[in-house]
């Protein structure tokens, strides 16, 4: 395709960044109030910018680009308000942006009078494309703009004697500037500024447009970092955009390549496809056991504030902050997550130092203010593990593993009928109506038992049941109340079945806690079904589980009529 051509590679045969690891956070600089704000359809007013500034300070940013005071009266007024109302903490640097023009630089210095700490950020475009199309200037002419601008900044220092000022220069469009020329311009600026290891300047190398893959960006940064003179006197700053959707990757590789500082925005707001998302970069570090140096323990709060102030919306699939990033719809994913959660709870659920080992989840959602309740949501693609997880975490019901496939099928069938996702209360409602509240054709109305006189291990029972709309008294014996009840049902002519699985649990704690019983029966035709009983008495819970399972198993079997049952019983018990 002649219209689009590959970007040239960087000649760096001995590149070192692929073998490095990120072990510490960079210097973070938020540009939400400038780069981010200028990209909003409706830019923030002063009151909104003040609220955003307070949020950024609360998160822990020590460098915040607050505006372009020479280009906007709102920005100028905002900077003045921060300074005059003493709203800037002593350890926070206000960063202000200016083009390399003397009138704009002068206006910028007016805006920062009285400030304690300032990063003065000056830029001019250096790329071949900008030189050719925008400015129609030679390399030397572009370099001279940067040099003259820096000289004027130095001259203006005397107007702010009370300010600790750090100088930052950006060869704008560094990403598509020839590397040798970007280096030439930056070193010419350094010659004017004369930074030292004790008083460094910042060289910001922006990927103003993301033209290529992240590895090429890393090569550019490493080449520059290794080649620039007096490297110990400068801070290499990264400022990536997201035109190719790889802004985070480019930043991470740029840090491996020598970057020490990152400029970006919350959730990646910015021109076109946005700036790099600092929240994602920081939490990626956190997921590797690195303290990112930012307070991100309540991402839902941060997201809500961001959406309120910018009018932007965080996508459902946005890393860490999106509504769906800690959910799983796939049955196999749900099952793996449930097992990981259960195992962690068994080991030590409250120990934050216990290594995080839960499949499909890179971090513990609680660490960033998310909750386990949102991890698994159910639709027709969901599996048994996810349904069991919801009932366990939300309602305290520990469904036996053997029952989970049957429960999962019931929920999936219902989700198919609905054609959408099932909410947690809908799952619980289906569970109770399908497995607990099954009272037709058989209903237990009263149960009495006593120990058999002939054998203390035997239990005799009598019960009043309602079967096919008729009341019937039954009696039975067995080695326990459930066994006695089942024998009584079968002996009085109801369809034959047997218990093949039984489990029970307490629902909650304390003397008033209900009991939950799970019973699986097998009918004469081989049909197996589960039933669940819930009652304050564990014996009654088990009996109710038997009747629920019986009713589910007999749903597709023509039940024995009550007249036939009574007649058969009378014939069997007649002395003739």
Nearest to 114, CA basis, from 154, 85, 144, 139: 85
- Other CB atoms within a 10 A radius of the CB of residue 421 amount to 15
Domain boundaries in the chain? 26-310, 331-436, 442-573
Residue 4 has pLDDT above 60, yes or no: yes
Q: Which residues pair with 505 in a beta bridge?
A: 516
Select the highest-mean-pLDDT range: 218-227, 339-348, 352-361, 404-413.
Answer: 218-227
| DSSP track, 66-127 | EE-TTT-HHHHHHHHHHHHTT-S-TT-EEEEEEES-HHHHHHHHHHTTT-SEEEEEEEEE--
How high is the pLDDT of residue 308? 96
pTM summary value:
0.77
Residue with tokens 């009598």: 462
* Tens-digit pLDDT profile for residues 276-297: 999 999 999 999 999 999 999 9
How many residues does this entry show for the chain?
576
Tokens of 439: 């009272």
Pick the CATH number of 26-310 from 3.40.50.150, 2.60.220.30, 3.20.20.70, 3.40.50.20: 3.20.20.70
Residue 220 has pLDDT above 70, yes or no: yes
* Tens-digit pLDDT profile for residues 338-360: 888 888 877 765 566 788 999 99
- According to CATH, the topology of domain 442-573 is Double Stranded RNA Binding Domain (3.30.160)
At 198 the three-state DSSP class reads: coil
Select the highest-mean-pLDDT range: 193-202, 368-377, 559-568.
Answer: 193-202
In this prediction, residue 560 has a pLDDT band, given cuts at 50, 70 and 90, of very low
Q: Output the average pLDDT for the chain.
A: 91
How high is the pLDDT of residue 559? 41
- With beta carbons less than 8 A apart as the criterion, state whether 444 and 543 touch: yes
How high is the pLDDT of residue 417? 87
* Tens-digit pLDDT profile for residues 507-549: 877 777 899 999 999 999 999 999 999 999 999 999 999 999 9
Nearest to 33, CA basis, from 13, 61, 4: 61
Q: What percent of the chain has pLDDT over 70?
A: 92
How high is the pLDDT of residue 452? 66
Tokens of 102: 């003397």
* CA gap 249, 240 in Å, rounded: 10
- According to CATH, the topology of domain 331-436 is Helix Hairpins (1.10.287)
How high is the pLDDT of residue 100? 97
Tokens of 457: 């291990």
Residue 87 has pLDDT above 90, yes or no: yes
Residue 487 has pLDDT above 90, yes or no: yes
* CA gap 82, 114 in Å, rounded: 10
């Amino acid at each position: 395709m002649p219209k689009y051509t590959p970007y040239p590679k960087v000649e760096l045969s001995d590149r070192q960044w692929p073998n490095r690891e990120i072990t510490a956070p960079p210097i973070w600089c938020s540009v939400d109030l400038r780069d981010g704000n200028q990209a909003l359809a409706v830019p923030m007013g002063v009151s909104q910018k003040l609220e955003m500034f307070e949020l950024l300070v609360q998160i822990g940013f020590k460098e915040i680009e607050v505006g372009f005071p020479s280009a906007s009266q709102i920005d100028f007024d905002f900077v003045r308000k921060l300074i005059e109302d003493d709203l800037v903490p002593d350890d926070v640097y206000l960063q202000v942006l200016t083009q390399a023009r003397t009138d704009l630089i002068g206006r910028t210095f007016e805006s920062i009078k009285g400030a304690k700490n300032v990063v003065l950020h000056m830029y001019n475009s250096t790329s071949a494309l900008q030189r050719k199309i925008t400015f129609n200037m030679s390399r030397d002419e572009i370099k001279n703009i940067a040099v003259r601008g820096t000289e004027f900044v130095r001259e203006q220092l005397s107007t702010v004697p009370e300010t600790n000022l750090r100088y930052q220069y950006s060869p704008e469009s560094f990403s598509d500037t020839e590397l040798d020329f970007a280096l030439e311009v930056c070193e010419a600026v350094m010659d004017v500024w004369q930074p030292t290891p004790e008083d460094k300047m910042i060289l910001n190398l922006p990927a103003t447009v993301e033209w290529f893959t992240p590895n090429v960006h890393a090569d550019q940064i490493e080449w520059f970092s290794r080649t620039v003179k007096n490297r110990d006197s400068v801070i290499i700053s990264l400022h990536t955009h997201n035109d190719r959707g790889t802004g985070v990757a480019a930043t991470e590789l740029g840090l491996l390549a020598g970057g020490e500082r990152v400029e970006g925005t919350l959730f990646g707001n910015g021109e076109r496809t946005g700036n790099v998302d600092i929240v994602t970069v920081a939490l990626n570090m956190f997921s590797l056991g690195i303290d990112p140096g930012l307070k991100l323990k309540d991402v839902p709060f941060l997201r809500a504030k961001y959406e309120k102030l910018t009018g932007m919306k965080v996508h459902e699939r946005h890393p860490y902050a999106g509504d769906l990033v800690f959910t799983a719809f796939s049955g196999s994913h749900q099952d793996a997550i449930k097992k990981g959660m259960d195992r962690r709870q068994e080991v030590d659920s409250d120990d934050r130092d216990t290594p995080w080992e839960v499949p499909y989840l890179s971090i513990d959602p609680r660490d960033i203010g998310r909750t386990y309740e949102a991890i698994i949501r159910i639709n027709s693609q969901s599996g048994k593990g996810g349904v069991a997880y919801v009932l366990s975490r939300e309602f305290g019901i520990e469904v036996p593993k053997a029952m989970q496939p049957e429960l999962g099928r019931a929920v999936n069938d219902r989700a198919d009928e609905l054609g959408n996702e099932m909410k947690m209360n809908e799952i619980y409602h289906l569970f109770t109506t399908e497995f607990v509240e099954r009272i037709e054709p058989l209903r237990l109305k009263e149960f009495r038992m006593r120990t058999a006189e002939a054998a203390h291990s035997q239990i005799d029972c009598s019960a009043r049941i309602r079967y096919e709309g008729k009341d019937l008294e039954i009696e039975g014996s067995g080695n326990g109340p459930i066994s006695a009840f089942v024998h009584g049902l079968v002996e009085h002519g109801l369809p034959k079945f047997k218990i093949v699985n039984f489990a029970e649990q307490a629902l909650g704690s304390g003397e008033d806690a209900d009991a939950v019983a799970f019973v699986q029966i097998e009918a004469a035709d081989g049909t197996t079904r589960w039933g669940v009983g819930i009652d304050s008495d564990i014996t009654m819970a088990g009996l109710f589980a038997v009747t629920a399972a019986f009713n589910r198993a007999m749903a597709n079997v023509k039940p024995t009529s009550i007249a036939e049952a009574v007649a058969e019983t009378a014939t069997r018990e007649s002395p003739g």
